[in-house]
Structure 1
Amino acid sequence: MTESAGIDILHVDDEPEFLEVAADILEGEREEFTVETAVGVSEGLDRLAADDFDCVVSDYEMSGETGIGFLRTIRERNPDLPFILFTGKGSEEIASDAISAGATDYLQKQIGSDQYTVLANRIENAVEQYRAKQRATDLDRIRALTSEINQALMRADSRSQAETRVCEIISDSDPYLLAWIGEVDEDTQEIRPRASAGVEDGYLDDITVTADATPTGRGPGGTAIRERRVAVSQNVSEDQQFKPWQAEAVARGYQAVAAVPLDHQDRLYGELVVYANRPQAFDDREQELLADLGRDIGYAIHALALEEDLHTQQTRQRALFENAPNPVMAGEETGSAHRIVNVNDAFEETFGYTREEVIGTDVAEVLVPDDGRAAHEEFRERAMAGESITTEVERITADGPREFLLHVIPYGVTDDTIEGTYVWYMDITDRKERKREIDRQNSILRTILENLPMGVLVEDTNRDVLMANDQLCDTLICSDEYFFCERSS
């Protein structure tokens, strides 16, 4: 068989000698013609079942069978294949029957070669019209397929759902039998299926496809990944590069394969592999449309993957936010205000405000005391610049002022702005109060010691000196070799 640019003709007649002469003359008329012959209707049908042809030329009377009966059988299988009745028995009745049965053209045999020139012209015109119709049909089919896939991608809620739906839509469309989407295992370089649909029958379990340069990586699947382009095998039964998968593919009716990289912004998300039920199924136009489809799918997967990553991140942040043992507030900058957008349960318990009371309000109006406004504005400016802040502050609760250790953590930081801040509070009011009480007691103790008329030395359980008053130091000679004397002040 010739390449798709040629014209493959099946000439059927019951006279072998005539077939041989006619084939030579026709091939001499056009360089692109390749003429195969079949003696009789039965052999003609067998040849059509085994190979693809662009046109059939048939005699009328052939050993008890007619070209009209032959035509009717062909039309049951292929309504559009060009068929020219080329007969020595001519009549208006035969011509009318031929056209009624679906013949493309009718031509009567004549002595000499001139009629073969006419026949060559008729064949060429019929095949061109047939191919133009096929191209238009294929274009409409692929456009409809692309539209259906894009709608499915827009409706998909997850990457796995999108990939499965793409495979289902493609495998349901003629001439495709199977579609699968796979991605590369970086450790083994094996291309592993993520989703598939169609006539599979264990095929994906029986084969190995890799992205390297080994024999299992030289077919369309590996080539599409390595070279980031649509790669095809137009006839798997004859393609030596497809040999590792040939037997399994042919057994399932796969005759042509196309692999399409799924990428977006230099990131590869895997590939789409499509199997067709006929050779030469992927012409240049179809490959271009598949490449466009691959980019559409790559973009959709990219967007869904980002959305899934964001959802996972948000879920983790929400769990951390809601289950934090300390009060946490989320805030966003809106104009001149820093507004509260969310608080956790611990915030409600510690501050005594409900979510409904504080969400949407300005932090400064609700939580910051008047004498802390200047410091609060400074913290805002530093946070807006992307700086994390840890400091001690006083904040207003429903029960009055309390002291907190404050952690301000900006999120969504870009070059110039931030999306907002998380503010963690640790209530240190009781701890600060205890420290102040200890400092007060220590101050009283120092005052008492300094005013006693006798020398006093205070030691801990290890006999380390903690305090001594001036009277002791005035009475004794203070020396580092003897003991440490700390004067209270």
Structure 2
Amino acid sequence: MTERIDVLHVDDDPSVLDLTEAYLDRELASASVTSVTEPETGLERLDAESFDCVVSDYDMPGMDGLAFFETLRKDHPAIPFVLYTGKGSEEIASRALNAGVTGYFQKGGPEQLQRLATRVQQAVEEFRTRRAADRYSTVLEALGYPVYVVDETGTFDYVNEPFAELTGYDREEILGSKPDLIKDEEAVQKAEDRLGSILSSGDPDIQRFRVDIVPKEGDPIPCRDHMAVLPYEGEEFDGSVGILRDVSVEAARREELETKRRALDEAPVGITITDPSLPDNPMVYVNDEFVEMTGYDREEAVGVNCRFLQGPDTDEAAVAELRKSIDAEEPASVELLNYRRDGTPFWNRVSIAPIREAENDRVTGWVGFQEDITAFKEREGALRRQNERLDEFAGIVSHDLRNPLNVARGRVDLAREETGSDHLEAAVDALDRIESIVDHTLTLAREGETVGDPEPVDLAALAEDSWGTVDTDEASLEVELDGAALADPDRLRNLFENLFRNAIEHGSVDCDAVTVRIGGLEDGFSVADDGPGIPEEIRDDLFEPGESDSDGNTGFGLAIVKEIATAHGWDVSVTDSESGGARFEIRGIARPEAKPAE
């Protein structure tokens, strides 16, 4: 042993101390002996200094050697203690060994001193080995990783508690068994091949590889094995040591990331990711759809800012809106005229959103979604042009057709007054029908598809007011409705008027007077009458323009009702009333929010 050995020798005879120190210095070249004559002094030195071994006499005044040993091991339980006494007896030897001393020797000549030196050296080596092992075990346990040692025969020689917990076996079940207890045949062979690589001179001293551990119960656990060989000299291989790391969570995350990556790559819209930490916030990822949409391959797109898609007719206001959102770290969506690699323009709906760290909400990237809406914009333009032509046509109908219609009506009225001919009465009815068709056609053309800014409307009040604008003859109205609805009051009035006219015109066919009842529904209202009802065979087409079950009716009234309901986002349907008449139900009506009490 070349490492220094610090020995504390306690004996009340100074001459024995000097002789022993001289001999230990000669026999143990690395020994450093501290000699004291009193056990109390020895205890003080032990508290103040570090020693590898204590040698003590037995028969000393005030405290014998065994009492000294019992006292010091309370604070120093692991230090080797050799009782070296001139008063030897079987009784003292028995007491000493039963007490747990490391060695017992009687004082004597050179032969006994040689035995003492040899035992001191052995005791110190054992003490240091045990202390190092304890320290390593503490470190390994503190790491929390499963650790194993396999001897030269391929048998588990050591496993720690985390290893036992991972496999589900008790440590006693694992020790002495072969690795095939927790591995399948393929995994065992893989470990042996890796061990052979370590033992070969040209490969690394440590091998890292994936292995599935088969626990006592449950599914295999994916792990990463870090394997090395135990130190050895010559051809005497002593075994291997390894640390396992459970990578099941890592594998699950990797699989999740791979799934997300595939989803991004195969998404039906263009997806880009930019990195604001790099100069000019360049794209660091583009998916397949972006490549196909723009004509730029990944090598051309990755590493540059996405503004390269802009061109001479790109709207600067929309680009500025994107820049403003990026500066404010807020999501945004705009429509841009972009240009493909071959120079052809296309309309791009661009939506961007910040990518934030979960820990501190810091923006680490931006994700962008690009959707080619060229076909939609073209349809939108065509529809706008069509609506413009329709509006122009409606103006022509309103002006150029209504004027001659009014002239014809006036002339017929004069002729009827002068002649009283029944033929002229029929002509007046025909002109009235033409005027009604013109009015309803203009209504359908100019109503619009949506309601932009609805307001709270009192349903009962508006219904009663609408009743007053309709030619009701002898019909009557019963209102069992309260509450308000969010609606366009003018268009809702038009809806009520058309439903009332429909009830009166159809309900008065077989009776002198019809009763119209308005009732409330949970999400809307109903308008019912006690007339003859609507035949089943025409209900599916009832709301189509020109469809009617009455002679002389234009069939536009219910089409207007449907148009107004759809513009509000409501549903309209027809069924039988309790009296067998027609019942129209308007559902999906939004109610105004109640004002908080003051």
TM range (shorter): 0.3 to 0.5
Greater RCO between the two (CA within 8 Å, min separation 6)? 1
TM-score of the pair, normalised by structure 1 = 0.38
**Under a length normalisation based on structure 2, what TM-score does the superposition of the two structures give?**
0.32
Q: Which has the larger radius of gyration?
A: 2
